[in-house]
Amino acid sequence: MGGPNKQLTLLDGEPLVRRTTRRVLASGHDEVLVVVGRDAPDVTAALAGLDVRIVENPHYERGLATSFRAGVDALLPREEVAAATFLLADMVLVTPDMYRAVREAFTRTDAPLVLATYEGGVRAPPHLFRRDLWNGFSREGDHGPKDLVRAYASRAVTLEFPAWGLTDVDTPEDVARAEELLRLSP
């Protein structure tokens, strides 16, 4: 977006990170971790009052993989955690029902991976990874756990969501488009 931290960009008057986090919380997950890197104090302040656990990623400049890894590393000591859903804060239209569907698919099947796809076959978060896959998360790079997704796709449960859920915010034009979609939604 060029300028301030994208996670703090306002959508309908609310920072992206807060909007997405509220939606995850509304889905009924047992615990919500938010990995913060750049501008960590400001991003953390945007989450004030929400029941989340903040995980700092000191290596965020080395790419997105380090944020996924920071989340995994924060969960590894918690042996009772069977799986974790990973998502991106800039996918602002994913609903609590979508997050809940991912979690419930795992609960029903114990699949190693639950993948979200959007109309047209586009695979994008939220994705759920069973605990035994966590050590396969990369420690470097500007990507998510694509290798794990490829390796386990044949054993995954795949859910299809509407195309509008794929909307992410990367530019000022994306913010305007997301706000328009919000106005049109029930």
User: Average pLDDT of 9-32?
Assistant: 93
pLDDT over 90, % of the chain: 68
DSSP annotation of 161 reads: E
pLDDT tens track for 71-84: 999 999 999 999 99
More confident call, 163 vs 138: 163
Report the pLDDT value the prediction gives residue 185, as an integer from 0 to 100: 66
Report the pLDDT value the prediction gives residue 170, as an integer from 0 to 100: 86
With 90 as the cut, is the pLDDT of residue 12 above it?
A: no
Distance CA(85)–CA(155), nearest Å, equals 17
Q: Band of the pLDDT at 28, cuts 50, 70, 90?
A: very high
CB 83 within 8 A of CB 128: yes
More confident call, 37 vs 142: 37
- Domain segments of the chain as ranges: 6-184
pLDDT tens track for 116-140: 999 988 999 999 999 999 998 887 7
With 50 as the cut, is the pLDDT of residue 183 above it?
A: yes
Instruction: Name 46's Cβ contacts closer than 8 Å, sequence gap at least 6.
Output: 7, 8, 15, 17, 18
Distance CA(186)–CA(173), nearest Å, equals 22
Lowest mean pLDDT among 133-142, 146-155, 168-177: 133-142
> Domain 6-184: which CATH class?
alpha beta
Region class of 2: left (phi > 0), else alpha (psi between -120 and 50), else beta: left
Distance CA(146)–CA(161), nearest Å, equals 20
CA–CA distances in Å: residue 70 to residues 21, 48, 56, 103, 163:
17, 21, 7, 21, 29
Q: What is the mean pLDDT of the chain?
A: 91
Cα–Cα–Cα angle for 68, 36, 5, rounded to 5 degrees: 115
Report the pLDDT value the prediction gives residue 1, as an integer from 0 to 100: 46
Report the pLDDT value the prediction gives residue 142, as an integer from 0 to 100: 72
Greatest Cα pair distance, the chain, in angstroms, is 43
pLDDT tens track for 48-71: 999 999 999 999 998 888 999 999
pLDDT tens track for 86-116: 999 999 999 999 999 999 999 999 999 999 9
